[in-house]
């Protein structure tokens, strides 16, 4: 039965320090503290821009200007966001040789901004854009945001390299995630209920290969009573900072 949180944090810290080869699976919950509301939450992006009309690849191909009304809003939120203590703690744990890599469902690039090096982005990134018609790629820093929608040199509207509904997860991300998840000793699930494929498969894959699953979430999820071995309840920024401080003492 779960013990009180401080005891449990210390126990998990010992486990992580001993096992190393830790892979983190992160979701929207870790970026909420950076001011990015979960798109699915009340007041989130999807309540104002229904994803079937604004976030499918078909919607983009049919009417990219319309989809950019949603993307412009999303960019405004993402551009303002800075890494929070949760992102920084994971980056610190990578430098300490404890965290091997991060698999994230987020498109905000905040793990990299926090200094993490091995980051697999399941749903792509908003930091690069591509042309669906001629294939040319651009960095989002090549556009200052006044130009909406941003255009390719061929004249067509560019699409951020985020995975739209109806698009496949990039093969490379899928392969990298599978290899990280199947090779880790501990999977640290942070800020996600991991109910959406393929993220949902990662804790199971890790577990089948002998890993311990540690979950950090504000609320219990479907994972908590199924695959989770240790549940640390709380905000990612608080829990991960405590964990990183404890681990640093043990190394």
**Catalytic residue set:** 123
Q: Which of 131, 188, 223, 239 binds Zn ion (CB under 5 A)?
A: 131
- Compute the distance between CA of residue 217 and CA of residue 215 in angstroms, rounded to an integer: 6
Residue 36, both tokens: 């990015």
- Compute the distance between CA of residue 242 and CA of residue 205 in angstroms, rounded to an integer: 27
**Strand 99-104 versus strand 137-139 pairing type:** unpaired
| 119 contacts 102 by C-beta, under 8 angstroms | yes
> Contact between 154 and Zn ion (CB under 5 A)?
yes
Nearer to Zn ion, 57 or 248 (CB): 57
Stretch that binds Zn ion, among 130-138, 142-150, 203-211, 226-234 (CB under 5 A): 130-138
The site that binds Zn ion (CB under 5 A) totals a number of residues, namely: 7
Provide the minimum distance between the beta carbon of 146 and Zn ion in the complex, in angstroms, as a whole number. 20
- Compute the distance between CA of residue 8 and CA of residue 228 in angstroms, rounded to an integer: 14
Nearer to Zn ion, 77 or 151 (CB): 151
> Contact between 142 and Zn ion (CB under 5 A)?
no
Stretch that binds Zn ion, among 13-21, 32-40, 111-119, 147-155 (CB under 5 A): 147-155
Residue 55, both tokens: 């976030």
How many CA atoms within 13 Å lie on the side-chain side of 236?
A: 25
Nearer to Zn ion, 48 or 136 (CB): 136
Selection from 198, 208, 207, 204 nearest residue 177 by Cα: 198
Residue 151, both tokens: 């255009």
Nearer to Zn ion, 6 or 137 (CB): 137
> Contact between 129 and Zn ion (CB under 5 A)?
no
> Contact between 119 and Zn ion (CB under 5 A)?
no
DSSP-assigned letter for residue 90: H
**Interaction residues for Zn ion, span 168-207 (CB under 5 A):** none
DSSP-assigned letter for residue 181: H
> Contact between 152 and Zn ion (CB under 5 A)?
yes
Residue 95, Cβ density class (10 Å: 0-12 exposed, 13-18 middle, ≥19 buried): exposed
Element holding 215 (H helix, E strand): strand 212-217
Nearer to Zn ion, 167 or 229 (CB): 167
Provide the minimum distance between the beta carbon of 73 and Zn ion in the complex, in angstroms, as a whole number. 24
Residue 154, Cβ density class (10 Å: 0-12 exposed, 13-18 middle, ≥19 buried): exposed
Provide the minimum distance between the beta carbon of 150 and Zn ion in the complex, in angstroms, as a whole number. 11
Stretch that binds Zn ion, among 18-26, 59-67, 102-110, 153-161 (CB under 5 A): 153-161
Provide the minimum distance between the beta carbon of 54 and Zn ion in the complex, in angstroms, as a whole number. 22
Q: Which of 72, 134, 196, 218 binds Zn ion (CB under 5 A)?
A: 134
Residues engaged in binding Zn ion (CB under 5 A)? 131, 133-134, 136, 152, 154, 156
């Amino acid at each position: 039965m779960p013990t009180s949180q401080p005891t449990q944090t210390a126990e998990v810290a010992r486990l992580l320090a001993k096992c190393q080869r830790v892979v983190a699976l992160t979701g929207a919950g870790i970026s909420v503290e950076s001011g990015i509301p979960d798109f699915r939450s009340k007041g989130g992006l999807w309540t104002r821009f229904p994803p079937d009309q604004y976030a499918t690849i078909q919607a983009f191909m049919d009417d990219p200007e319309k989809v950019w009304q949603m993307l412009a809003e999303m960019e405004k939120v993402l551009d303002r966001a800075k890494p929070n203590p949760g992102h920084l703690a994971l980056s610190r744990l990578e430098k300490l040789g404890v965290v091997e890599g991060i698999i994230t469902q987020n498109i905000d690039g905040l793990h990299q901004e926090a200094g993490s090096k091995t980051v697999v982005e399941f749903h792509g990134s908003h930091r690069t854009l591509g042309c669906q018609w001629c294939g040319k790629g651009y960095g989002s820093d090549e556009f200052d945001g006044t130009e909406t929608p941003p255009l390719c040199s061929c004249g067509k509207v560019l699409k951020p390299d985020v995975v739209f509904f109806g698009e496949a997860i990039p093969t490379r991300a899928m392969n990298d995630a599978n290899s990280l998840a199947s090779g880790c000793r501990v999977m640290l699930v942070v800020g996600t209920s991991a109910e959406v494929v393929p993220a949902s498969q990662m804790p199971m894959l890790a577990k089948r290969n002998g890993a311990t699953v540690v979950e950090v979430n504000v609320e219990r999820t479907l994972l908590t009573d199924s695959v989770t071995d240790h549940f640390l309840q709380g905000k990612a920024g608080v829990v991960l900072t405590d964990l990183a401080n404890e681990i640093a003492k043990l190394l």
